Each structure stands twice: as structure tokens, then as C-alpha cells.
Amino acid sequence: MLERIWSGWRSSYVTAAPARTGDVPEEPGSVFTRLLHSGAPDTETHIVHRGATCFVIVNLFPYTSGHLLVVPYREVVDLDGLTAEETSDLWATVTEAVRVVRAVYAPDGLNVGLNLGRPAGGSVPDHLHVHVVPRWTGDSNFMSAISNTQTLPEALVDTAAKLRAGWATAAARRQ
């Protein structure tokens, strides 16, 4: 039988969220575009890989340690806005991200997915990105269900360093 845990706090978040990004004044470009053009080094922005048409960054609000985002350089809202080259590079990079996360974290499983549009849970709805989330048996606990709190065992800078090293090792093996 399906157990349900009430999370009423989500209601205020969902109803307060603007329907479109344009409803909130902010700097031009998505958070990803602003990071890319910030001039900050990858070690500060938590970028772990740069490819031909997309890059990989540690999620700044991760579900678990090792949670990555694969993001096209170009701001695209939906999958059908990608060129053939971007589509190919995006999915090849997602596949490599899965390999790297498995090698670095040895999770029991992974979630890979997209949230297309704000109603689908997309927190950056104007810039498509693919989540790669390592999962372990029992990794959800009472902290997130009852107290709206997540516990992460390592700092983002450490996560990024491990994954960047894992990416370099994977690239060296292919050569």
C-alpha cells in the first residue's frame, strides 16, 4: 500500500512561485548563463566538465551528494529546441555523467531526468537541464519528510573536486 506523508509547506511554495520567469525582475539570462559568463573559475562555479555544446555542474541545491546537472550552453526551453548536435552531445554527456557518478560514489541506483516547465518542478524553466542523481537504499529519511531538512555529508566544493577528478580519469581511460 502507498504511504502518504503530508508536505503542506509545498503549497505556499507552489502558489507563490511566479508562473513565468519574466514575472520576476532579474539579471538577463538564466542562472547557468550568468555562471558561464561570470569569469569565475570552474572550481568556484562547481563546473566539473565542459564539452562541445554543454557543460556539467554540481547542483547547488542537491538532493544527495554527487547530484549533477547537464546543461546546454545555449539557453533552450525544451528538448525540441536543441539542434541535432546539441541533442547528441547532451545525451552522450548524460551517459558519461552516469559513468562518473557510479565510479566516484558507487550508488545503489540513479535518477536521471528533466523537469520541463515550472509546473513540472523546473526551478530554471527557461534553460533545459538534465539531473543525474545518485541514490542509495534508504537515503530518504525522517529529516526531509518531517523537518524539511536535508543532510549532506560533504561540502559542494569537495563534491565538485571528486567529480572533476572522476571525469578526468574517465577521459584518460577512453584515450
Given this model, what pLDDT does residue 28 score?
79
Given this model, what pLDDT does residue 15 score?
47
Nearest to residue 95, comparing CAs of 76, 72, 114, 112? 112
CB 72 within 8 A of CB 85: no
pTM (predicted TM-score): 0.77
129 is annotated as an active-site residue:
yes
Q: How many CB atoms lie within 10 A of CB 6?
A: 7
Q: DSSP labels for the chain?
A: -------THHHHHHHHS-SSGGGS---SS-HHHHHHTS---HHHHTEEEE-SSEEEEE-SS-SSTT-EEEEESS--SSGGGS-HHHHHHHHHHHHHHHHHHHHHH--SEEEEE---SGGGT-SSTTS--EEEEEE-TT---HHHHHHS----SS-HHHHHHHHHHHHHHHHHHH-
Given this model, what pLDDT does residue 114 score?
92
Given this model, what pLDDT does residue 154 score?
81
Domains in the chain with CATH codes: 27-167 (3.30.428.10)
Given this model, what pLDDT does residue 140 score?
64
Q: How many CB atoms lie within 10 A of CB 149?
A: 10
**pLDDT tens by residue, the chain, 175 residues:** 444 444 454 444 444 444 444 454 456 788 999 999 999 999 999 999 999 999 999 998 888 899 999 999 999 999 999 999 999 999 999 999 999 999 999 999 999 999 888 887 777 888 999 999 999 887 765 445 444 555 566 888 989 999 999 988 887 887 7
Given this model, what pLDDT does residue 175 score?
73
Q: Which of 46, 67, 129, 131 is catalytic?
A: 129
